[in-house]
Amino acid sequence: MSHYPSQPPPPSTDGKPNVMIVGAGLAGMFLGILLDHIGVPYEIFERSSEVRPLGAVMSLNANILPVFEQLGIYEELLKMSYPSKGFNIYKSDLTNIASLTIDNEEELFGYNFCVFARPRLHDLFLSRIPPGRIHRGKKVMSLSQSKEGVMIRCSDGTTYHGDILVGADGAYSGVRQDLFKQMQKTKELPASDTETLCKGYMCLVGTADKLDPNKYEVLNDKVSKVYQVIGTGTQYSWSAVNVPDNKICWNVIVQLATMRQAEDEKFRNSEWGPDSNDAMIREARDFLLPIGGTIGDLIDATPKEAISRVLLEDKVFDTWYHGRTVLIGDACHKLLPSGGQGAVNALQDAVILANCIYDLPSLEQHDITTAFRDYKNHRYAHVKDEYEASKTNAKVFYGQTFRERLMRNVALNYLPKSLQLRTMTKSLAYRPQASFLPPAPKRGTRPVLPQK
């Protein structure tokens, strides 16, 4: 570890750590909301200077909704979302391949899947962060830590000190990169963590705003349905999902043909952003949609600055913490979004890390290391399971190779519905809650893993 600078961290409050969170995304803000409930002082440092409403459809399920109940924001989530009622899959000519549904979902699992446009959840979390806690325009360039504390240095020359540093700054986490660089020098970094993220798909996403229900009848429904098209004779697949407020979230996904192409794209798409979208938009414009019209129609109804293009990558790092620094969300595990669990896993990280911080007996290095170890031990196996599931789901819903098409045919046409139910039951049984808040009631008839 680097030598800690002469300036010490600010004095703790009643023995509670001063926590610095890098990244004002969903995971970082959710952790801040949880820390508020245990009186732990925190600051959030965000590299962008302004809020950007990026992202498209998002879904939350029984894996995390009990915590929303604990925090008193579940009812607000219901107001801004629709329950999910089906996943419909088509060929390019709009021939239906399959329709996937689970009957009596709320009765079985206690909750419906809540579907909404991602910026709505960002706004909800932001409304729960006290003014002044988020510092924008703070790109973290380096970190230094010792047994006494941790410091970050930002691109504007400012420095900040604390007891714990949380890297919640995404798949290209600056915190992780600097931490790993330091660990490499001391030969403490596992060889597997030097490997790049696995690349296979490129995604263009957006949310078409305030559409006409007379043109898109699906907007009259008060439930959300996924309309997924898997291209024939092309590397593309695309989808549309209706969400509240007469909006439709859409995406276009292309399977990258070669590793070289993926590497070239990496440097042009290292983060979500509206740049360099035109070529992919031209390719996708005439793709037909089962809800009527084309992808181009939805693109035209989406503010240009809200259209994002990003690599879909996947990797689970072995290193989740070192010294007084710990990683959550995409900073330590990046899952393909096909399973719908990427954001859920990031929020679960925040819950378990908050529990471990709550249980800290002291601010000594050995106690912080123990807390971080407990956090990883609680999460790692579950994340690995979801990681494997996300790769399989991506092959079924986006894959264009002969083997993937064969896999899709078997998965959609020959696997019994009882197997789908068993798989979902196993996945939704894991529902960690905030240990410092009154527990949410057990809902649904299916089993739930006991809280640790």
Burial letters 13-38, b for 16+ CB under 10 A, else e: eeebbbbbbbbbbbbbbbbbbbbbeb
Query: What average pLDDT does range 14-21 have in this prediction?
Result: 92
Residue 212 has pLDDT above 70, yes or no: yes
Residue 142 has pLDDT above 70, yes or no: yes
Average pLDDT of the residues of the chain: 89
- Give pLDDT, residue 269: 47
Q: What pTM did the predictor assign?
A: 0.92
- Give pLDDT, residue 158: 96
Question: In which region does residue 187 sit, left (phi positive, over 0), alpha (psi from -120 to 50) or beta (all else)?
Answer: left
- Give pLDDT, residue 53: 62
- Give pLDDT, residue 259: 37
pLDDT tens digit string along 109-133? 999 999 999 999 999 999 999 999 9
